[in-house]
C-alpha cells in the first residue's frame, strides 16, 4: 500500500524557516519523481518544487526559487523541502506527490502558517 506522510509544518514568523518531510512507503521510491505542491485557502493547488530520482537538478516555481530547496534521501525513502525567508503568502497546506510507474500518489498534506 502506497503511503506518503508529510510532517514538519507549523506556525512560523515572516522571515523564518521550516523543513518539511515526506516519508514514502509502498513503492520504489528511488526511481520515482517526487514533487511538492501547496494549496492556500480559496486557491487552486499549485506546483512548488520537483526533484528527479537522482536528487540532482531540482525544479522550482518562480515564487519560491532561491528560498526553498528540495532534497531527497533514497535510503530513508524521504523527500524534504527546506523553506527559508518565509512570507505570509507561503501560508498553505503543503502536499507531497509521487510519480512512479505511471501512477500518481498524493499525501494528505501538512499546514504551514506564516504570520506574526
For residues 96 and 1, which has the higher predicted lDDT (pLDDT)?
96
Cell numbers linked to 114: 506564516
How far is residue 44's CA from residue 56's CA, in Å, rounded to a whole number?
28
Read out DSSP for 29-74? GGGSEEEEEEE-TTS--EEEEEE-TTS-S-EE-TTTTTTEEEEEET
Predicted confidence (pLDDT) at residue 55 exceeds the cutoff of 90:
no
Predicted confidence (pLDDT) at residue 88 exceeds the cutoff of 90:
yes
Predicted confidence (pLDDT) at residue 98 exceeds the cutoff of 90:
yes
Cα 72 from chain centre? 10
Which of the four pLDDT bands, split at 50, 70 and 90, describes residue 31? very high
How far is residue 40's CA from residue 52's CA, in Å, rounded to a whole number?
25
Cell numbers linked to 22: 515526506
Amino acid at each position: 500500500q502506497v503511503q506518503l506522510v508529510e510532517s514538519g509544518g507549523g506556525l512560523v514568523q515572516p522571515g523564518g524557516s521550516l523543513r518539511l518531510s515526506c516519508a514514502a512507503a509502498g513503492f520504489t521510491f528511488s526511481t520515482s519523481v517526487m514533487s511538492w505542491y501547496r494549496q492556500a485557502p480559496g486557491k487552486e493547488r499549485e506546483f512548488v518544487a520537483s526533484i528527479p530520482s537522482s536528487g540532482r537538478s531540482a525544479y522550482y516555481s518562480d515564487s519560491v526559487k532561491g528560498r526553498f530547496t528540495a532534497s531527497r534521501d533514497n535510503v530513508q525513502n524521504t523527500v524534504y523541502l527546506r523553506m527559508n525567508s518565509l512570507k505570509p503568502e507561503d501560508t498553505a497546506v503543503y502536499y507531497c506527490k509521487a510519480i512512479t510507474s505511471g501512477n500518481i500518489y498524493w499525501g494528505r498534506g501538512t499546514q504551514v502558517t506564516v504570520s506574526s
